[in-house]
Structure 1
């Protein structure tokens, strides 16, 4: 059996969970998230915690119970604390500026890059070379961070580009004559 699914998801104060019609919705101080439940997993609320169990003993059902538990845990964490991803811009003239629902990037191209932020995600720029992407949905925050990084991923010779703050870029040695 999945060892992840054995642990119940504890609900912090101020977080409400509703399970109805094959869907789970979690509401907290930072927002609301909802997700469809997998048909082979039963999700129930017991004693201030959410418990995920496999309906039958099949391998697919057991593995999906662990996946659903992780997804519900991410939803609870998102509406209570939120998620954030930090990006650094490395390179001469590389700049970022957040303006409302847009992120303006200057990444060494002949034109400025304008990234439209989806609903539920905000971006802050504490300095010109740092971007903080925040949101309630972990998947959406990671996706936006990956899209911004995708405009100019770090190159292996000088390390220039957009990188995650915890990313380590291994530099290659240049060709010798």
Structure 2
């Protein structure tokens, strides 16, 4: 914080990554893996592009405004990591009573024969997220951290068991590794 009453955080753009900021506060970041857009509108917090830096600033901030500056800067860093390296979640299919069958149809992850149920359970797959099933391992990858993590949460939540003791019935699909960067 400077003496003029302005707080700011600077997010540096690495080489190979470009950014643009529209007048409507929509930030577009483009890198080797793709392009991400996000709306950063806030009445007091501003995002500007200055050379090779994105600057998140707020004049005369209160506590919530300071938190918003940090949140915006964190989102920008995640977007930059996404377009340069990508994100990956790993999940494990666990069953001991009834063998599960999983498949992917369009933007839906389908779980059949979960604890012997006749009707399949489904989970939504967000756009631009790749889901791969190899045996008992499920890999979810993409450039948008929020879409990848929400897809993993949807799959894990689809196998939640109501009315059974989770210490005994441990069947389900569980997250084993979160948000690690893809090395390709």
TM-score (norm 2): 0.76
- Whole-Å separation in 1 of the counterparts to 2:141 and 2:48: 29
- Whole-Å separation in 2 of the counterparts to 1:54 and 1:77: 24
Moved more, 97-106 or 86-95: 97-106
- Against the structure 1 CA distance between its residues 41 and 97, is the aligned structure 2 distance closer, same or farther, given a 3 Å change threshold? same
The root-mean-square deviation of aligned C-alpha atoms, in Å, is: 2.4
| CA drift at 1:112 | 3.0
The residue number in structure 2 matching 1:149 is 156
Aligned pairs for 1:1-177 (under 5 A) are 8-21=10-23, 22-37=25-40, 38-92=42-96, 93-98=99-104, 101-106=107-112, 107-108=114-115, 109-125=117-133, 127-153=134-160, 155-166=166-177
* Richer in strand (by share): 2
TM-superposition CA deviations, 1:28-58 (whole Å, max 9, x none): 1222111122232222334523222222222
| CA drift at 1:102 | 4.0
TM-superposition CA deviations, 1:99-122 (whole Å, max 9, x none): 554433232321333445232111
Aligned length: 163
**Structure 2: gaps spanning 5 or more residues:** 2-6, 179-184
CA contact (8 A) 1:86 1:130 kept: yes
- Whole-Å separation in 2 of the counterparts to 1:119 and 1:46: 31
